Amino acid sequence: MMAENKIDNSGKARIEDGIEDSIKKTVKSEEKTSLYDYIAAAAVDGRLPKDFALPRYALDDSQIAWMDGAMDGVNVYHMGFSEISAENSALMAEAVQAASGKEFEKADQLFGRLGQVVRAINIIDELQEYVMEHREELSASHVFEYAVNTVLHSGDRECVKFGISLLELFDTDDNDELKMVIRTLGLSDEFTIFAVFVMLRWENGNDEVYRLAREIHGWGRIHAIERIEPETEEIKKWLLTEGVHNAVMPAYSALTCWRKSDAENVLKGNPSRDEFCGIRDMIRGLLDEGPVSGISQIENAADIINAFLKQAAAFELDLEDYEAVREIRRYFEGGDSGDSAVAALCQELLTSDSCRALVTDAVRDGRAIELAEDLGLDFLDDILKLLQTSFDSHIYLCGLLIHDPKYRETVFELFRQKLPLEEMKTEPTKSLGLGQEFRKQQYLESALQELKRYPLEYPEFVETALQSAPIRTRNLGIAVLEAWADAKETPLAELMPEMHSLLCRLREIEPDEKVKSRMERLINGAVRFHDGTV
């Protein structure tokens, strides 16, 4: 292998001759849809439509479809990385050797098999280390050509990621055509983190990642923000005002944006309205420590919150501001993080006339419900009007009325009017019922969630649920019966003989073993479910 084709010790390789030809001469497979082409065709002016998604992982409606980038995001933030097994390591090595030997079809098959058992995000380091350790025996030009072919023409997500990871080892900064390919793939949240790793090898890599982050909104933005350096005031300002705004959860980027944007010093100065709103949104993300650490990692958190609340006096606050103040009060009003002074300052803002007026208007549209409850506003009549005039849009509010005896019958009568209960009884399937075609079943599920609290009331809704097509709906019907048997400490056969007979019949045609098992527990007389005993 010629010296200019070797991968060097810094982890890069320079393919001196034919680098552009390698792109042009790759052969497109006719057997699969190219994911690159799919993305490129959807991109308009350097961005993808908000509802863009790659072809889903789920093969049918019995599987949950992950949003683009979500599986890798969960791996990065929640699962950690484990060592690759010897078997998978050998499979990876065989795939690289096939690529080096220009056995591209074989390499595709091997990398495809590898991607089915281990995600590319988990073995980037191992893949690149293997190539570096064997650089003297590998053909850099063939590995490069294979990587380009894969990112351009593969229809397999993990294979595309393997291809991008291989390209990270090469000097691609002078290849404008290939850089456009990487930028395009980076627009998809599924591939952003891999594209970012390549971009950071370019001379202006930080600017490239910043420009990309501005055009994406899901997991890709989260990954990009983690790797952006606040080298300019423009980047700092964007991280301050826009960084936490993503389609996943602001919490994932809140602490990173707080530190990189110098938000604390901005807050202590004279922030503009835009800056104040950015700090507000970061604080809300910091308070939400469900997915990742946030405000607990800031030593002077109470001082920062006090500064924010005092700055609030300089602005005419809107509903989002008051929602943030409510979240601050809830965090600081008790427990280990309690601070009575902060809580009192929040309460003062929340009980102001301007806050009450904004919330009163908002609940008429179904907004700020929790804040209205905190303020003790009487808004249930407004909720009933919303359900009566726009049931589809406000079905999620039905629980507020069902729990009040004054409204319960009225709400269930609305459900009777909206749901053709008899028509909804059909053969059981293994569908989860997630599509628009199951909209009525989803409405029924809203009612079932509330019925658990009211033994023996409105059994006709449970009967329909048990005879519905989606697994999820049937499971909720069973959950209601479990709750009723538990609350009454009475076997279903004694509690509801007709329902018991129906369940016996349905058991015989139930296609899902887990659902059938739950049916059998009820049929066999179980009366305790919440503590796991029978």
Average pLDDT across each block of 10 residues of the chain; the chain has 534 residues. List them in order. 41 45 48 86 94 74 76 88 88 97 97 95 95 95 97 96 98 96 98 98 97 97 97 98 97 97 95 97 95 92 94 94 95 74 91 96 94 94 95 93 95 96 95 89 95 96 97 96 95 96 97 96 90 43
pLDDT of residue 387: 95
pLDDT of residue 533: 39
92: CB partners within 8 A, 6+ apart: 84, 114, 123, 126, 127, 130
| Residue matched to tokens 């970012």 | 196
Report the C-alpha dihedral over residues 79, 80, 86, 92, rounded to 10 degrees.
90
Q: Give the span between the Cα atoms of 487 and 490, in whole angstroms.
A: 8
Q: What type of residue sits at position 284?
A: R
Cα 390 to chain center, whole Å?
Answer: 28
What stretches of 135-227 adopt beta strand conformation (E)? none
Based on its alpha-carbon atoms, the radius of gyration of the chain, rounded to whole angstroms, reads 29
Q: Give the span between the Cα atoms of 103 and 11, in whole angstroms.
A: 23
Q: Give the span between the Cα atoms of 163 and 344, in whole angstroms.
A: 56
- Is the separation of the CB atoms in 193 and 157 below 8 Å? no
| Residue matched to tokens 């010629």 | 2
pLDDT of residue 529: 85
Give DSSP secondary structure letters for 342-395: HHHHHHHHHTSHHHHHHHHHHHTTT--HHHHHHTT---HHHHHHHHHH-HHHHG
Q: Give the span between the Cα atoms of 161 and 195, in whole angstroms.
A: 9
pLDDT of residue 464: 97
pLDDT of residue 336: 61
Q: What angle do CA 306, 254, 198 make, to 5 degrees?
A: 155
